[in-house]
Structure 1
């Protein structure tokens, strides 16, 4: 449900006298992960990249909904049958995801995994699905039918055929978890970028902040602002590549799980804050909610800020982020 970033990572010097920067790109969680580590020397940097890969793989083997042996797959197989005991880590992630469902009134919903894929964004759709077909497509979706038992650490899906899946939220969680792990090991700088869910910490070897360049999807070859990141996260959800148009209206590939209809109005939402997992929840939700309701939601969480780009190319930002301060002259 999430389109990969409209962000450009701007790296400074790759080496200094006291530090080495190494970067590796791998496929994890079915997506691209770019891992950058700054360490005392190249060998230490490479070893810590290996540790990050191992940690993401561990998380994937807990929460993947397409690998039969994972705990989440067992939860899905037992939908409508029985609760399934899961590790505290999996339970806590599910609990946080449900919290997002509640505060967004279903605009974010991990049970979207059971949604029928009736919308096609490959150019093959010639007409909109009927209201009846759309309604049927979300018959098994509904976060209120997910039952958590904290005492026994179990998850139960009330309806047969229900499924949960963390998708990009899981990638954000993995990026945050790896950052915490690296800091605990004394690695003072790096970036874990899970398919656009980016957690950063420390500084580049030349002493400058990590920075990202923001592009407008209407003019993707042009960076209009550069924003520094200081031990924070950034996530972008967008619809600028996958969408359909009917009767002059643009329908994004990000579907509202509460209605079955695609999001409209926003082309991309970029969220900044301390956690990639939480920023992902906000960016996805805001795409569904639209600019007015999305900004109203984010206002309640001042540690997070956002840049929104509408379908007609208008650039907006949350009140706590003055985009003019970062625009290129």
Structure 2
């Protein structure tokens, strides 16, 4: 359950004798990646950006569930047949995804990839799916049927027709890995933003923290918050861009993996914290869990901060955010 996220940079091209800020937008993992690097000159910055692109491509070739040659595609082809040995990196990513599934009671579930795509949000739906079709659509979803063997390094999907996918974690994981890679190479500052799953390090060359704007889900041409970031990730999940209306009721494109029905109650969740992968898992889960259960989940992870906007435009920010935000959007 990966969604186009509403985050915009406030970046100003700046150069001095010591540093330049270089940006590039590329298409990777089926999404737009915006890469920002601060380096001593444009040649060095471009070389570092090339390294980031290569790293994201490497990750995509490991975990994509739509590229037939990847290890995840091999796992899916062998659902109900046999365990598949995977690289340690893929195994550990799957392990973390299952942890998210357990702590959220299935609100997050990487086997969501097996859901029948009965909901269409491209304008082609003329009627609501039947209750029977909705129930059938989630029949193959169930993180409990994903078996990991740590000794052998294998993943086994117990039921034929099951699939796993990292659409809700992949871009965040890539942003985290690229940040780690760049810091290891001595790059002092930058941002890797994978379709709104972003991680930052260091500061803008002018000495200020990076700033991101969070889109107003009531009017997505406006921002309702500007947040400073330094060595921190930020992710937004939102249900306000893609939806259908039946019998005067709005059904958004974020689907509850346990019920097959679109979620309601929240229109936007922004999570900030040290890790983009986990922030994405939290934001996705909170959209499904709702405000009350979502805030309870966040209390277990005090290093993560959040802004929640409900369907009526009411805003709730966690106490550790330390920012003034209007309680009602218009």
TM-score, reference length from structure 2: 0.96
Q: Deviations over 1:163-214 (max 9, x none)?
A: 0000130110000000000000000100000011000000011111101112
**Cα pair 1:62 1:70 within 8 Å, conserved:** yes
- 1:213-292 matches, within 5 Å, as 213-292=213-292
Residue in 2 that maps onto 1:138: 138
Aligned pairs for 1:5-16 within 5 A: 5-16=5-16
Structure 2 equivalent of residue 69 of structure 1: 69
**SS across alignment from 1:167:** coil
Counterpart residue number, 1:124: 124
Give 1:313 shift.
Answer: 1.3
Query: What is the Cα deviation at residue 325 of structure 1?
Result: 6.8
The alignment status of 1:167 with 2:163, answered yes or no, reads no
Post-superposition Cα deviations, 1:77-110, rounded to whole Å, max 9, x if no partner, equal 0000000000000000000000000001001000
Q: Matches of 2:285 and 2:326 in 1, distance apart?
A: 25
SS at structure 1 position matched to 2:89 = helix
Report if the CA contact (8 A) 1:213-1:226 is conserved: yes
Aligned equivalent of 1:48 = 48
CA RMSD of aligned residues (A): 1.4
Once residues 320 and 254 of structure 2 are traced to their aligned partners in structure 1, the CA distance between those partners, rounded to angstroms, is 26
Give me the whole-angstrom Cα distance separating, in 2, the residues matched to 1:260 and 1:215: 27
Shift of 1:243: 1.1
| Change over 3 Å in CA distance of 1:225–1:326 after alignment to 2 | farther
In the TM superposition, residue 247 of structure 1 has moved relative to its aligned partner by: 3.4
Partner of 1:100: 100
Q: Is the 8 A contact 1:16 1:206 kept in 2?
A: no
Rounded Cα–Cα distance in structure 1 between residues aligned with 2:144 and 2:21 = 46
**Structure 2: where are the runs of 5+ without partners?**
none
Aligned residues: 327
Contact 2:79–2:158, Cα closer than 8 Å, also in 1? yes
TM-superposed deviation, 1:133: 1.1
Q: What runs of 5+ residues in structure 1 fail to find an aligned partner?
A: none
Matches of 1:130 and 1:139, distance apart in 2: 15
1:198 is paired with a residue whose SS is strand
SS of match in other structure, 2:319: coil
Give the secondary-structure state (helix, strand or coil) at the position aligned to 2:199. Answer: strand
C-alpha separation in 1, matches of 2:230 and 2:246: 42
Using the alignment, how far apart are the partners of 1:290 and 1:248 within structure 2?
21
Q: Distance in 1 between matches of 2:35 and 2:72?
A: 26
- Partner SS for 2:236: strand
8 Å Cα contact 2:175-2:192 kept in structure 1: yes
Q: Tell me if structure 1 keeps the 8 A contact 2:315–2:326.
A: no
> Residue 204 of structure 2 aligns with which residue?
204
Greater Cα shift, 220-229 or 272-281:
220-229
Do the aligned residues in 2 keep the contact of 1:13 with 1:206 (CA within 8 Å)?
A: no
Instruction: State the distance in 1 between where 2:266 and 2:126 align.
Output: 23
Aligned equivalent of 1:27: 27
Judge which range, 132-141 or 78-87, deviates more. 132-141
Q: 1:189 to 1:224 in 2, by over 3 A?
A: same
**Contact 2:100–2:281 (8 Å) recurs in 1:** yes
Q: Give the stretch that moved more between structures: 6-15 or 35-44.
A: 6-15
| Cα displacement (A) at 1:259 | 1.0
- Provide Cα deviations, 1:221-278, integer angstroms capped at 9, x if missing partner: 3323211001000001111111122333322211111111111111111100000000
